[in-house]
Amino acid sequence: MQRGNLLSWPAPPLQWIGHTELIISMRYSPDGSHIVSGSNDKTIRIWDAETGGVVGEPLEGHTERVTSVAYSPTGQHIISGSGDRTIRIWDAETGAAVDKPLEGHTACVRSVAYSPNGRRIISGSDDMTIRIWDTETGAAIGNPLQGHTLFVNAVACSPNGQHIISGSGDKTIRIWSAETGAVVGKPLRGHTGHVRSVAYSPDGQSIVSGSFDRTIRIWGANTGATVGKPLEGHTDRVWTVAYCPKGQHIISGSEDKTIRIWDAKTGAAIGKPLQGIPGMCIQLHALPMASTSSLAPVTRPFGCGIPRPVLQLATLWRATLTMCSVLLTPPMGNTSFLGPMTGPFESGMPRLVLRLATP
């Protein structure tokens, strides 16, 4: 697999064999060398990001599907949230469980995240609450953060660690004090569908949200006010949003099988949507070590002859070069032609890790 140049398309895929059911969540390690995945098969797996080879044995312990995974800022630990209502901490090198599960939620844990200093874990649940945990002791800190009236789909911590944001099925985003757990200001309202994904800009001044109403919204982190008009263009539910490392772009993934790139300042779409994705884009993750190489637009076939999956449930395409790594769950049907993937990949765009679901 070559790097650093725009390669002929389709790029050769790496078949990742390991999970036996659908992958729900995937994340790069902080240094980009490994990827962790959580699956409906109740396990977590660690992969070599270069070769696609599995690293060690599956991390087992959850008794229901694994819905969310994340690396600690140092890369030493992995956390996982599950339908069994618990969060688990794992040693990223050995795969061993670290102490007992974190218990307290009364329904599926849908989203987990670390604080920037790695001392706290944030979790969001179908029990409509957010919880904060001490990573050293595993103890819950304070009372559950309550206010949402439906399940909490997404949580994130501000870059300075002072605030937490949450997105919910109640169509709102809430901002919380990470220190006290108190609500900061009023709920951010504007979406007309479930808020499925939230993220802070790298400078902490803005928040981006993606919703089942097919739009992306940008909010002032300090004011809670909407910034500009909704970003419109997706034709189906938006499942995931992320800022690129420098904050100049926003990336969104949708059930319409496209990825879109937006100017974070103006809200304008950049180029055409990236099309030909063989499934709906449910998760993407921007790495901090983005390439700054300038790239020409990609207008080549996305892939032909990709095999119907048996056990392989993730495929890595080096879509354009070091800058863009795309993780997909393979389509569950005929893949003789998946159509073209088109769109500009511009200087400073991040690597992406995407988790896609197929019918």
Note the pLDDT of residue 220.
Answer: 97
Note the pLDDT of residue 3.
Answer: 27
Residue 112 lies in domain = 20-289
In a domain, 58, yes or no: yes
Total domains, the chain: 1
In a domain, 227, yes or no: yes
In a domain, 267, yes or no: yes
What is the maximal distance between C-alpha atoms in the chain? 54
Residue 15 has pLDDT above 70, yes or no: no
Q: Do residues 327 and 353 lie in contact, with contact meaning Cβ atoms separated by under 8 Å?
A: yes
pTM for the complete prediction? 0.79
Whichever domain contains 81, its CATH number is: 2.130.10.10
By CB atoms closer than 10 A (0-12, 13-18, 19+), residue 286 is buried
* Chain segment 259-282, per-residue pLDDT in tens: 888 999 999 999 888 775 555 566
In a domain, 242, yes or no: yes
Q: Which residue has the tokens 């709906």?
A: 280
Average pLDDT of the residues in 75-83: 97
Q: What is the C-alpha separation between 29 and 51, in angstroms, rounded?
A: 15
Average pLDDT of the residues in 228-257: 90
In a domain, 307, yes or no: no
By CB atoms closer than 10 A (0-12, 13-18, 19+), residue 62 is buried
The percent of residues in the chain predicted with pLDDT above 70, rounded, is 72
* Chain segment 153-193, per-residue pLDDT in tens: 999 999 999 999 999 999 999 999 999 999 999 999 999 99
In a domain, 79, yes or no: yes
In a domain, 355, yes or no: no
